[in-house]
Amino acid sequence: MMSLKQIADELQRRLTNIFRRDEKGRRPVFGSQEKMQTDPHFKDHILFYEYFDGESGRGLGASHQTGWSGLVANMIAEMHEEAGQADGRTEVPPAQPEEAHVTTGTV
């Protein structure tokens, strides 16, 4: 049986993985939108959709308003901070250039 903390951590991992690049460098949230997957002007600008495909993670619905899915940005920041604390650092290192830019709006 999982503890409530373990359940919360697993949900956080699953939600944030929708926005992370996979081993092929593709983000599930962008589905088959090649421009969003490959264009250097778009691929690192994350949109927080209204809801997501349960099988693929592809973003669906409105992307022009930040609703509940915008909370994932907070989860990513918290995970980044926790990783810094686990390494014994007193400051969280700056984001690396390859990390996503969190934005809201349509393309």
Q: Mean pLDDT across the chain, nearest whole number?
A: 81
User: What percent of the chain is modeled with pLDDT above 70?
Assistant: 77
pLDDT, residue 1, reads 92
pLDDT of 99 over the 80 cut: no
pLDDT of 33 over the 50 cut: yes
Higher-pLDDT residue of 82 and 43 is 43
Using an 8 Å Cβ cutoff, are 46 and 29 in contact?
yes
pLDDT, residue 105, reads 52
Query: Tens digits of per-residue pLDDT, 54-98?
Result: 999 999 988 876 677 778 888 888 888 888 776 666 554 544 444
User: Rounded to the nearest 10 degrees, how much is the dihedral formed by the CA atoms of 69, 101, 82, 67?
Assistant: -10
